[in-house]
Structure 1
Amino acid sequence: MRRDDFLKTLAVFAAAGSLPLAARAASNFKMMIPANPGGGWDLTGRAFGKALQEAKVADTVTYDNKGGAAGALGLAQFVNGSKNDPNALMVMGAVMLGGIITGKPPVSLDKATPIARITSEYNVFVLPSNSPFKTMQDVIAQLKKDPGSVKWGGGSRGSTEHVAAAMIAQKAGVDPSKINYVAFRGGGEATAAILGGNVTIGGSGYSEFAEYITAGKMRPVAVTSEARLPGVDAPTLKEIGIDVVIGNWRGLYGAPGITPEQRKALTDGVLKALATPAWKDALKKNDWTPAVISGPAFDKFVDDEFASLRAIMAKSGMV
């Protein structure tokens, strides 16, 4: 085949979206996970990377864990190191918004490009199996007696479990500023602290605690949802007289500086990956609820979440 005929053939393949892998540019994605290994963001990022590959959106995916400051350290690294890269993604969510409100980092979320919200998840509060407390009511009774004696373990300052702990204290008639909250850089560290008895009670998404609950190493005592969660043997906070409902969600942002066309292509690729068996398996395995929003609706959602969280945190004495 002559060279000009070969090039014409490639053009036909490209137009049809069926260019052979060896003949097209490799799609190498970078996934920023702004948390240490073992937590919800880490599980989400790595599961989604597999989905990108199954969807043929990415040939390879490399992962970069950078924990600390509720994701602000990873956000800064992502913004400064991925400018104009249409194949860069960062996992984020409600935790990052809370951390930005409390920590006021120099690099804010508006420097990156919103892509989509992908999941929602409610928190579960757990006790280590050898805890002297048996129920959330026991914990709240101790909280009322001596707020500082109850160590709440969870993600970074401003995380949903931190906000939930402050709201629980407020509803129980305790000054939220007096709670003893121990922040960890990632879910793995928080889990180790709970199992080791270094905190009184821990909170996070159910997926992070599921294996330990099943193994009898942790006891779930309350969930932050409106109704009981399937498969979780624990009451809602509302059931025990604490009127608190708060959910967690996770999403994806793209790099700063990408064009509108690149943003659309990246969004289309993300939505394609969300339809794969690999991602559906991850949802089932981790008890994540699909909650997909993209485009301008996601932009508005993030703005509204910032406003809502600021109001809640101010009312709870956290800001």
Structure 2
Amino acid sequence: MRRDTFLKSMAALAVAGTVPTSWAQAAAMKMMLPANPGGGWDTTGRALGKALQDAGVASSVTYDNKGGAAGAIGLAQFVNGSKNDANALMVMGAVMLGGIITGKPPVTLKQVTPLARLTSEYNVFVLPANSPFKNMGEVIAQLKKDPGSVKWGGGSRGSTEHIAAAMIAKAVGVDPAKINYVAFRGGGEAISAILGGNVTIGGSGYSEFAEYIASGKMKPVGVTSAERLPSLDVPTLKEQGIDVEIGNWRGVYGAPGISKQQRDELIAKLEKATKSAAWQEALKKNDWTPAWLAGDAFATFVDKEFSSLQDTMTRAGMV
């Protein structure tokens, strides 16, 4: 069959509604990753892109890493460069809310379209393999003695590990304003700093540190969950007498200006992707907890989370 005849036949089938679902729904999609390579958003976005293709709802996915300012730089590019684009997605999460609260950028999440929350993950704090400290208790003792001498390494200002560090300080009687937090543009930079011993202690999602913990290059000393993580038998902060618990969730937004129908179609594609074998494999590999919440319910959740984080950060002296 000639190519033009084939295409005309497929067009006729589409009109009749008899094209296979994968043909009708698949589209070339674009993914904004508002962080440098190697971090949680990068890992999440690329895993999601693979899942979209595995589910047959995306013919291809291109990625654009744009790190800095807790995602605000990538958010600004997404707002200005993806208007009305029903095939554009942006990965984001709790870190972006914290960055907006502290940095007060000219762009906000109100300018883009909330689609769905995907996962939840807790932070793990680690020491470099050659650290003079053996556990979190020794780090806290040094923090009490000289707050500025303890360098906390992690993501951008306002990230969950930054908030957790401030909460830890407050919980042990240290002024949160005195903590020495070193912010990095992405997970890759933070990992390099920890491995190089350029920070005292580092924090991030377990998935970002997993391979280094397994190889012995990092020593985990505490997690921010209520209970120990299934894949990491390390005491929680609460077990160690530090009353701090904080989670990190990640989600997806669509472009500004898309219609409700386009939004709902994107949500349906995302939901299908989260049921794919590729996504289930990513959840297991990265120890992510499924946390699906879509549409208006997700938008309401983000608004409440923003208010809660703002209150927590204000109380911790970060705002």
- TM-score, normalised by the number of residues in structure 1: 0.95
Q: Equivalent residue of 2:211, what SS?
A: helix
2:117, 2:294 within 8 Å by CA — same for their partners in 1? yes
Over 3 Å counting, the alpha-carbon distance change for 1:283 and 1:9 in structure 2 is: closer
Q: Offset of 1:256 from its aligned partner?
A: 0.2
Over 3 Å counting, the alpha-carbon distance change for 1:266 and 1:20 in structure 2 is: closer
1:220, 1:233 within 8 Å by CA — same for their partners in 2? no
2:25, 2:56 within 8 Å by CA — same for their partners in 1? no
Q: Offset of 1:304 from its aligned partner?
A: 0.5
Q: Offset of 1:260 from its aligned partner?
A: 0.6
Partner of residue 106, structure 1: 106
CA distance in 1, matches of 2:133, 2:193: 16
RMSD across aligned positions (CA): 1.9
Q: Equivalent residue of 1:299, what SS?
A: helix
Q: Offset of 1:11 from its aligned partner?
A: 3.6
Q: Does 1:117 align with 2:117?
A: yes
Residue pairs, 1:144-223, within 5 angstroms = 144-223=144-223
AA in 2 matched with 1:263: R
Residue pairs, 1:1-319, within 5 angstroms = 10-14=11-15, 15-18=17-20, 21=23, 27-319=27-319
CA distance in 2, matches of 1:240, 1:268: 43
AA in 2 matched with 1:109: L
1:155, 1:190 within 8 Å by CA — same for their partners in 2? yes
AA in 1 matched with 2:217: K
Over 3 Å counting, the alpha-carbon distance change for 1:307 and 1:8 in structure 2 is: same
CA distance in 1, matches of 2:190, 2:310: 25
Over 3 Å counting, the alpha-carbon distance change for 1:258 and 1:233 in structure 2 is: same
CA distance in 1, matches of 2:18, 2:161: 48
Q: Which runs of 5+ in 1 are unaligned?
A: none
CA distance in 1, matches of 2:9, 2:215: 60
AA in 2 matched with 1:18: P
CA distance in 2, matches of 1:25, 1:233: 43
Deviations 1:156-196 (A, max 9, x none): 00000000000000011000000000000000000000000
Q: Offset of 1:27 from its aligned partner?
A: 1.2
Q: Offset of 1:12 from its aligned partner?
A: 3.7
Q: Equivalent residue of 1:182, what SS?
A: strand
Deviations 1:197-226 (A, max 9, x none): 000000000000000000000000000000
Q: Offset of 1:18 from its aligned partner?
A: 1.4
CA distance in 1, matches of 2:228, 2:25: 48
1:125, 1:223 within 8 Å by CA — same for their partners in 2? yes
CA distance in 1, matches of 2:93, 2:293: 13
Q: How many residues align?
A: 316
Q: Offset of 1:56 from its aligned partner?
A: 1.2
Q: Offset of 1:10 from its aligned partner?
A: 3.8
1:69, 1:103 within 8 Å by CA — same for their partners in 2? yes
Q: Equivalent residue of 1:267, what SS?
A: helix
AA in 1 matched with 2:18: A
AA in 2 matched with 1:301: F
CA distance in 2, matches of 1:150, 1:122: 22
AA in 1 matched with 2:237: L
Q: Offset of 1:7 from its aligned partner?
A: 5.6
Q: Which runs of 5+ in 2 are unaligned?
A: none
- TM-score, normalised by the number of residues in structure 2: 0.95
Deviations 1:122-170 (A, max 9, x none): 0000001110001101000000000000000000000000000000000
AA in 1 matched with 2:269: G
Over 3 Å counting, the alpha-carbon distance change for 1:74 and 1:20 in structure 2 is: closer
CA distance in 2, matches of 1:86, 1:302: 21
AA in 2 matched with 1:150: V
Q: Offset of 1:55 from its aligned partner?
A: 1.1
Deviations 1:19-39 (A, max 9, x none): 785xx6961100000000001
1:92, 1:253 within 8 Å by CA — same for their partners in 2? yes
